[in-house]
C-alpha cells in the first residue's frame, strides 16, 4: 500500500513517515513521487490514498498546490486523510474530508488514528499502535498523593496557595492519563479553558481528535453550572466531540451533584480519585466508552 504524503511547505514529516511504515504503508513524497516504473494518474503518483499535514504553526490559508492535489485525489476517487495539529484552524472548504487532530510527532495516538483510517477504507494494516497496559504501581502512587494533598493545608488557602494546589492536581492528572497509556499534554490557555489535551488509545472511533480535560477543585456539593456550560462551548469551538470535567473534592465526604436543567452532551464528569480507582479494574478506554454510551442513550449519570 502506498500513501502520497504532502504538507503545506517545508515541514518535518519524519514522524508521519515512520508511523506509516510501521503500519505497512509506503510513504511517497512529492520530490520522489514519480520515481520508478509505476505511472501516476494525472498530477498524482500511483498511490492508494493521500495524506496531507496541516501544521499548527501555519495560518488558515493553505497554498493553492495543496488544494490542487487534494482536489485531484478526490476527483480520482482516492481516500483522503487530513492530519490537523491542535491549535490549527482548518479551512471550512475542507470540512467534508476525513480529518484527525493530533500532533504530527512519534506517538501511539498518531499510529492509532492512521490504523483506524486504514481499516475504515477497507484496507487492513499490517500493524497497529503498540498497546500499553495500565500502570498499576503508578495508579497506587497517584491515589496516595491525592489523599495526601488534603493534609498540606494548600486546599484551604487562597491566592498563591490555590494556584500551587491547582498546578499539583494538573500534574497528577497528566500522570493519570499517561498511566493508562494515553498521550497527554498541558494545554492551559489564557482563557482558563482546557487544562489538558489527551489522546486515549481505544477511543479513536468516537473521539477523533484530542480529548479536552478541565480540572476543578470543588468545595460545594453542587458543580457550578457555568463551569459545565463553558467547557461544553469550548469543546464545540475546538471541534472536539467530547470533553472531560475532572474534579477533586476539597472535603472527601462531599457528595457531588450535577446542576439540574442543563444539557451538556459533550461533557463527561469524573471524580479524579474515583476515576483512578476505577482504572485499577478497567481500561480508561472502557470507562470513557461506557460514559459516552450513558450520555448518548440518556442513562442516569
CATH number at residue 153: 3.40.91
In a domain, 127, yes or no: no
Would you say 212 and 238 are in contact if contact means Cβ atoms under 8 Å apart?
A: yes
Task: Tell me if 54 sits within 8 A of 95, measured CB to CB.
Answer: no
292: domain range? 136-296
Same-domain status, 147 and 205: yes
Residues 144 and 274 occupy one common structural domain: yes
Residues 164 and 276 occupy one common structural domain: yes
Q: Is residue 102 part of a domain?
A: yes
The span from the CA of 115 to the CA of 97, in Å, is 17
Strand partners, 247: 216, 271
**Same domain, residue pair 168 and 101:** no
Number of structural domains in the chain: 2
Burial class (CB in 10 A: 0-12, 13-18, 19+), 167: middle
Task: Pick 239 or 124 by higher pLDDT.
Answer: 239
% of residues, the chain, pLDDT over 90 = 26
Let me know whether 240 and 140 are in one domain.
Answer: yes
Whether the pTM exceeds 0.75: the reply is: no
* pLDDT greater than 80 at residue 64: yes
- Give per-residue pLDDT as tens, 32-43: 766 654 545 566
Does pLDDT of 13 surpass 80?
Answer: yes
In this model, does residue 281 exceed pLDDT 50? yes
Q: How large is the average pLDDT for residues 263-275?
A: 86
Q: Is residue 131 part of a domain?
A: no
Amino acid at each position: 500500500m502506498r500513501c502520497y504524503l504532502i504538507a503545506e511547505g517545508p515541514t518535518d514529516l519524519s514522524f508521519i513517515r515512520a508511523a506509516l511504515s510501521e503500519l505497512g504503508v509506503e510513504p511517497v513524497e512529492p520530490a520522489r513521487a514519480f520515481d520508478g516504473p509505476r505511472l501516476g494518474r494525472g498530477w498524482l503518483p500511483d498511490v492508494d490514498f493521500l495524506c496531507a499535514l496541516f501544521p499548527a504553526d501555519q495560518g488558515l490559508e493553505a497554498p493553492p498546490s495543496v488544494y490542487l492535489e487534494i482536489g485531484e485525489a478526490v476527483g480520482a476517487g482516492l481516500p483522503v486523510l487530513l492530519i490537523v495539529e491542535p491549535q490549527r484552524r482548518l479551512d471550512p472548504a475542507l470540512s467534508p474530508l476525513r480529518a484527525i487532530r493530533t500532533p504530527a510527532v512519534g506517538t501511539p495516538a498518531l499510529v492509532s488514528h492512521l490504523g483506524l483510517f486504514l481499516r475504515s477504507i477497507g484496507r487492513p494494516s499490517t500493524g497497529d499502535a503498540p498497546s500499553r497496559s495500565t500502570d498499576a504501581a503508578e495508579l497506587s502512587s497517584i491515589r496516595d498523593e491525592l489523599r495526601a494533598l488534603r493534609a498540606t493545608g494548600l486546599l484551604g488557602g487562597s491566592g498563591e496557595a490555590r494556584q500551587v494546589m491547582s498546578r499539583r492536581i494538573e500534574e497528577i492528572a497528566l500522570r493519570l492519563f499517561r498511566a493508562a497509556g494515553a498521550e497527554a499534554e498541558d494545554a492551559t490557555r489564557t482563557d482558563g479553558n482546557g487544562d489538558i489535551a489527551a489522546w486515549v488509545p481505544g477511543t479513536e472511533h468516537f473521539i477523533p481528535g484530542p480529548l479536552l480535560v478541565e480540572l476543578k477543585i470543588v468545595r460545594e456539593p453542587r458543580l457550578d453550572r457555568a463551569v459545565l456550560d463553558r467547557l461544553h462551548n469550548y469543546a464545540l469551538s475546538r471541534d472536539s466531540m467530547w470533553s472531560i470535567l475532572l474534579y477533586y473534592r476539597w472535603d472527601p465526604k462531599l457528595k457531588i451533584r450535577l446542576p439540574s436543567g442543563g444539557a451538556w452532551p459533550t461533557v463527561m464528569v469524573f471524580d479524579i480519585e474515583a476515576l483512578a480507582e476505577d482504572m485499577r479494574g478497567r481500561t480508561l478506554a472502557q470507562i470513557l466508552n461506557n460514559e459516552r454510551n450513558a450520555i448518548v442513550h440518556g442513562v442516569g449519570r
